[in-house]
A and B are shown apart, each in its own frame.
Chain A
Amino acid sequence: MADRRMSNRAMFWRIIRRLFGANPGRLFVMLLALGAGAAVTAALLNLQVDARRRLTTEFRAFGPNVLIIPKGSSAASSETLPGSTIHLVPVNLPDGRVTVSSTLYVVAGVSVPQSGKSLPVVVAGTNPLAFVRVSVFSSTSEANLNRPAPSMGEVCVAGARVAKQLGAEPDTELVLASGPRRESCRVAGFHQTGGPEDDRVAIGLRTAQRLADLPNRISAIELIVPGTPGEIQSYLEDLQRQLPDVHVRPVRQFTEGEARIYNRISGLLTATVGIVLLLTALCVMAAMTNVAMERRMDVGLMKAIGGSMRRVLRLFLAEAALLGLAGGILGGALGIFLSIGLGKAVFGVAARPRLIVYPVAVALTVVVAIVSAFPLRRLASIRPASVFRGEA
């Protein structure tokens, strides 16, 4: 009995081998269809997983999304925080680093010694100063905050409107005065944001602390937290629990808008990727059915020499599964490489290959291959004699 099963199995594999070897052209067509399907599937799945992550990075273009301010005020005001608070903020997240900057606001008289113009202006002492986004606002303001100052002086970034009202040019010396205290700095660049920053002068934190006579105090900490809206929310809650003496609040304009837009985009992406996957399956099935229909003769022969329909079907399903596996393995790998390129085209950064995508793409291909072999069931009704007579 066991012997018969053994020889049966040997025969089974022998037939499978022959099925593959009999018609290399047909084999190539099937592999091509399955491989192309697997490649598209893997590329899109990988791109989708990556695009979600990448989108959250893109959203960081909106700037700080979390603020830490003294308790009891919903705005940064005259109250201050100890400067050491910044060291208590966890900066390493699974999705990347949190960018942290601390600021002290001082109202100071800002004047230009050459022209004698003077104005009360909000001076924002920021650490690190490079955190201040410098945008080009006149052709000569190619700012370089890292450039060593020619006269070892302090460097500052003037808001566009401040600069306009003071008539400040790049490298103009500004004198900041608050009470009896005086500091001076050299304009390294301008920034125009359309926000309150346009009306401020940004300077190093230490200088602002000296100017305000508030050593080691800050008004606010701004954070740029990466991640999905949900991750940012849980980060916020953790942070508030860790720092009970301060008020941690999201910049709701951006966190809320972001959550909305993120959900829309990722929903859209899921829908379109779903559509493409369906189409790919359809495409593979059309190609496979096509090939299966050409097998009428084979089926007729097998039935004529006594093969039961179940065994014949098992044979073809095994063939389809093997083909699906081969096509999936080849196509999936190709697709992942493809998505790296596509990611580069869309986001400017190569998509990171996700290993989970690979087995999923292979499994999907095998399933599609098996499902598309099912039209062979229609061959069950074939009468061998009529096949051999050349009738349909």
Chain B
Amino acid sequence: MFLRIVADSFGRRPRHKLLTGAALALGMGLATAALSVSLDVGDRLAKEFRSLGANLIVTPQADSLPLEIGGVDYRPVNAGAYLPEADLPKLKTIFWHNNIVAFAPVLEARGEALPFRREDGEDSPGNWINDVPLIGTWAYHAVPLPDGGEFQTGIAKTNPWWQINGRWFSDDARECVVGTAFARKNHIRIGDSVSLAAGDVTKIPSPLKVTAILSSGGPEEESIVVPISLAQSLAAKPGQYRKLYVSALTKPEDAFAKRDPKTFTPKEYDTWFCTPYISSIAFQIQQELPGTDVRVIRRVAEGEGAILTRVRMLLWLVTGAALLAAALAVGASSAASVIERRTEIGLMKALGAGSGTVGFLLAAEQLLLAFVGGGAGYALGIVLARLVGERVFGVAPQPSLIVFFVIIALAAGVTILGSAFPLRRASRYEPAPILRGE
């Protein structure tokens, strides 16, 4: 009988039920979208912040002080310490190796350059240019990993604001990229080639093909960027580098992360170690690469932390408002659907049903509606979240099961709450006046 009444109620007024269900689905759909987007946003924004480039810098511990003015190191080439390039795959073995988005070693050198102008298929040499800053690095480099895989990284990922007009050199070819200011001054174009030498040369070394012009807005525009192996042979430092830029996904630092790790209890230490704070990632890199000094580039890391924290708070606030509004909308419409059925309730009571039975019956009906509407709303919300995610970040958020349960629970809770109030009022009614239409 119970099921029959419920089935009858749905069958008798399908349009009406559809309307209530649609309002429920719409509300829950919007709530789903808001919730999925804000659950996803932290990771997504953290990735966006990597467009600011590296947030960690690794230098040799025993290094002499760089005499760097405006990005140019005025130290003599022989001064200072170097680090072995062969150790770099170890970076991807640290606890938070998945959070290391990119890294690139840099070896700066100085040398002489001899440009060759390419004209009518012939290379005509120009004049030697003295004291040219050379930057040896990886452009796109496949780092072999200990577990057998490969990791694509390089300066194009750690310094994403470097704009390349052309294509990056391949690491094993005799190719180079020329800074735009240097190229303009010396009339070098893509397709020309440049010979590089350091110290006394007896014969002109085989030239490097220019594959692109680099514009970075910084001192790099005055230099030539070459594969690191070339810079190493010019500086006579085979297999070594001087600076390593690391770009890592991190959790914004809170008061806990700002404490000195030495003061931690063992338990706190474990928590700190197992949280991707920038300081714990720096610590792990330092453990893996002995003899290095890993410093946090505060300018990048702190700005990022501050903005991420604020945006996350803002979004949770807005999502909270969305959930509240959805709850109110759904609650109001379910209240309306109960009020409309006063006559029916009156009839049931007149036929001898207790308040409990009537409430139970209506609650079952509302719950059924909530599950169907909530489910449909979830599907709708996922589509909406995809649209928003793709528009804003270019990537759709992953549908999450937690959101599904939250939404279903919310729909059920809100419909029950929304109908409870008018039900209580209805249970106090005497059946007779209602049936008389008063």
Contacts and interface: CB of A to CB of B under 8 A. Distances in A.
Is chain B found bound to chain A in the same assembly? Answer: yes
Interface of A: 33, 36, 40, 43-44, 47, 51, 54-55, 58-59, 61-63, 69, 73-77, 105, 107, 119-122, 135, 161-162, 165, 192-196, 198-199, 219-220, 249-254, 256-258, 260-261, 264-265, 267-269, 271-273, 275-276, 278-280, 282-283, 286-287, 289-290, 293-294, 342, 345-347, 390
30 contacts: A40-B325, A59-B303, A62-B299, A73-B70, A73-B222, A74-B179, A74-B181, A74-B222, A77-B69, A105-B70, A121-B65, A121-B67, A135-B298, A162-B65, A199-B66, A249-B217, A252-B217, A261-B49, A264-B45, A269-B315, A271-B391, A272-B37, A272-B319, A273-B318, A279-B31, A279-B325, A280-B325, A282-B23, A283-B332, A290-B336
Interface stretch (B111-119, B197-205, B306-314): B306-314
Given A196-B66, A252-B218, A286 B336 contact: yes
B159 A253 contact: yes
Interface in B19-51: 23, 26-27, 30-31, 33-34, 37-38, 41, 44-45, 48-49, 51
Contacts of B384: 275
Contacts of A162: 65
B38 to A, nearest CB: 7
B45 to A, nearest CB: 7
Contact of A272 (B38, B68, B298, B340): B38
Most buried by B among A36, A40, A282: A282
A258 B45 CA distance: 12
Q: Is the interface of B mostly helix, strand, loop or mixed?
A: helix
B48 A272 contact: no
B392 interface: yes
Interface of B: 23, 26-27, 30-31, 33-34, 37-38, 41, 44-45, 48-49, 51-53, 56-57, 64-72, 74, 159-161, 179, 181, 216-219, 221-222, 293, 295-303, 306-307, 310-311, 313-315, 317-319, 321-322, 325-326, 328-330, 332-333, 335-336, 339-340, 384, 388, 391-393, 436-437
B33 to A, nearest CB: 6
Tell which of A58, A279, A345 has the most Cβ of chain B within 10 Å. A279
Contacts of B66: 196, 199
Nearest to B51: A257
Contact of B310 (A161, A198, A276, A347): A347
Given A253-B53, A258-B52, A276-B321, 19 more contacts: A36-B328, A47-B317, A74-B219, A76-B70, A77-B70, A193-B297, A194-B297, A194-B299, A249-B217, A257-B53, A268-B41, A271-B37, A272-B318, A279-B27, A282-B325, A283-B326, A286-B329, A286-B336, A290-B333
